[in-house]
Structure 1
Amino acid sequence: MKVIRDGLMNRSELSNVTAVETGDVYIMSGLFRNDGSGGLVGTAYMAKLLHPDLFEDLDPEAIQQEYLKLQDFDFDLDEHGIIIYPPIEIDGGLAGIPDKYKGQAY
């Protein structure tokens, strides 16, 4: 995901796009547009990215983790999987990428 984002950020035809200028370019796994939850998980991540002030209490990773539990998947998002890059910082942790990467150059 980093390689794809870096490629977008470095495209000369996008250099004057506000999101590129401010670094607000995110890459999200395509699995979460139609994730089986009706797109709920992907929508939660997008809401948090696009309107963090309106969705201050929203934790998309918690929603995704609960959805996985409801599906009987034993999968800890704080250990595995990259959903969105760069990650969203929420309450001192990371959402969209395992917390073990906090403080590292990602």
Structure 2
Amino acid sequence: MVRNTVAALSQLDPTLLECSASLGADKVYTFRRITLPLIRPGILAGGFIAFMSSFDNVPVSLFLRDAATDMLPIRMWQDLEGKLDVTIAALSGVLIVFTIALIMVMERLTGLSRRLA
């Protein structure tokens, strides 16, 4: 997430911030009205990557679970060890489609491929 935000900040034109200061805007207003909207795609992309990398992470889920909660990766792992069933394959297919749909939505929202080209 930090890498994407820093990349978005590096593409920010410093003259925009100077113009805002010369027109009398304070730093908080400049950040809220100029900087944040310009780096929002980098922040959203970084959050998306962080979410997707932790979404199906079994070792992290093993450490974060307690007796009351049963997380999806652990449940899939337990069902896969216990029996061979098509439910896990169907759920895996749904997760793949969900991930692809989220990638397409993030591309529409942020347009990072257009910015990098």
TM-score over 0.5 (shorter chain): no
Could you say which structure has the higher helix fraction?
2
Q: TM-score range by the shorter chain?
A: under 0.3
Q: TM-score, normalized by length of structure 2?
A: 0.22
> Which one has a bigger Cα radius of gyration?
2
- Relative contact order (C-alpha < 8 Å, sep 6+): which is higher? 2
Query: Of Structure 1 and Structure 2, which has the larger fraction of its residues in strand?
Result: 1
